[in-house]
Every structure is written in structure tokens, then in C-alpha cells.
Amino acid sequence: MYWWVSAALRQKILADFSVDPVVLEKAVKRATSTAMIDKGDGQSAYVRAQRLVHRMHENGELSVQFLLSSLRQQRVAVFVAGMAELGSVDFRTAWRIFTDKGGESFAILAKAVGIERSQFTNIYLLVVQAREGGAVKSPGVLKNIVTLFDNTSVENAKGALQVWQRDHAYQEAIEELEKVG
């Protein structure tokens, strides 16, 4: 329901006003996500993590260093929620990125949100440890993922991020309204 109303609002604003569609898309997505978090089951660790990082982000307190510390403390839900918040993607998308065994999508997300190379290397090793229970990656795997991170331009990473930012349900609601309209 949230996404259908958001898609209808987006369509109406684009039809009636001269606004930048990218700016509008981000604003509608943020407002909808905030409403969904506020109405979510307050008992879920994931919802609590999302609320925490959302509040921190609004107050300008959410940082890569905080997320790195969260990961070191094995607070995976907080880390994933924080990456979702920094990348303006939904939690499920951030979770899929986190659980991607190859790590390519995480490298792209990290590049897009402005994580520095040294931070990326530390975070990637901690992500692998959290995801795979401490299994050690070969130096070649680490070298390949860092090379991908280095060779990906910020512009290309942000382009991929824009695709991830569009929630699946939201995208379906937009397409449904376009068929009707």
C-alpha cells in the first residue's frame, strides 16, 4: 500500500509540476521508507537497527567508522541497516548485497557511498568473516575484489546504485500506474 500511494503521488507530481525526477524519486522513497520503518514491528532486531541508523543519519552522526565498529562488534543488522541508509536502498537490497558471496555488489555499494579504499579492505574482510563464520579468503580473492573497487569509477558505482535504490514493489506500482494511465 505504501508503495502504491508513493507511485501515485510521484506520477501526479511529475504530471503537474516541473521537478527533477531523480530528486523527486529520492524524496518519495525516503518518505515511504521512513513511514514503513515507523509502522514496522518494533520487536525485530532489523527494524530497531533501521530506526537507530535512520535517526543517526538524520542527526548527521552516521559514519563509515561507526559501521566498521558495528561490524567489529558483530552487530550485523546495524551494519547492514547503515549501509542501506548510506546507499538509500531498502534493507532487503542491502542484505542481498551483504550476503553476495562474490563481494562485487558490496564493492560497488562501498564505492558509491564514498568508502575509502583502506576502509573498504577492512570492512570487506569483516563482512566475509561475519558472513562465512571466519573462513579465510585467499590473498588472490582479496586482491581481485580490491582491484574491482579501485577500477570502478564513482560515477559507474552511483549508476548501479540508482538501479538498486528503486524498490521492487515501488517499481511494480509505477509500472502498474503507467499501464492504467
Counting Cβ atoms within 10 Å, is residue 103 exposed (0-12), middle (13-18) or buried (19+)?
buried
Give the residue from 166, 151, 165, 85 showing the smallest Cα distance to 120.
151
In Å, the largest CA–CA distance within the chain is 56
Chain centroid offset of residue 6 CA: 19
* pLDDT score, position 121: 93
> What's the pLDDT at 2?
54
Please give the grid coordinates belonging to residue 168.
Answer: 521492487
Mean pLDDT score of the chain = 83
In the chain, the DSSP E strands lie at none
pLDDT at position 69, please? 95
Kindly report the length of the chain: 181
What pLDDT, on the 0 to 100 scale, is given for residue 119?
Answer: 95
| pLDDT score at 18 | 86
The whole-number pLDDT of residue 15 equals 83
**Cell numbers for 141:** 580473492
Interior CA angle at 88 toward 125 and 155, to 5°?
75
Q: What are phi and psi of 116, to 5 degrees?
A: -75, 160
- What pLDDT is stored for residue 106 in this prediction? 95
Write the pLDDT tens digit of every residue in 67-76.
Answer: 999 999 989 9
Establish how many alpha carbons lie within 13 A of residue 83's alpha carbon, considering only the half-sphere containing its beta carbon: 33
Task: State pTM to two decimals.
Answer: 0.69
Nearest alpha carbon to residue 45 among 17, 76, 23: 76
pLDDT number for residue 35: 59
pLDDT of residue 43: 57
**Other Cβ atoms closer than 10 A to 53:** 26
Which of the residues in the chain have pLDDT under 50? Answer: none
Number of H helices, E strands in the chain: 11, 0
Residue 37, H or E segment: helix 21-39
Look at residue 108 in the predicted model and tell me its pLDDT.
Answer: 96
Q: Which three cell numbers stand for residue 178?
A: 503507467
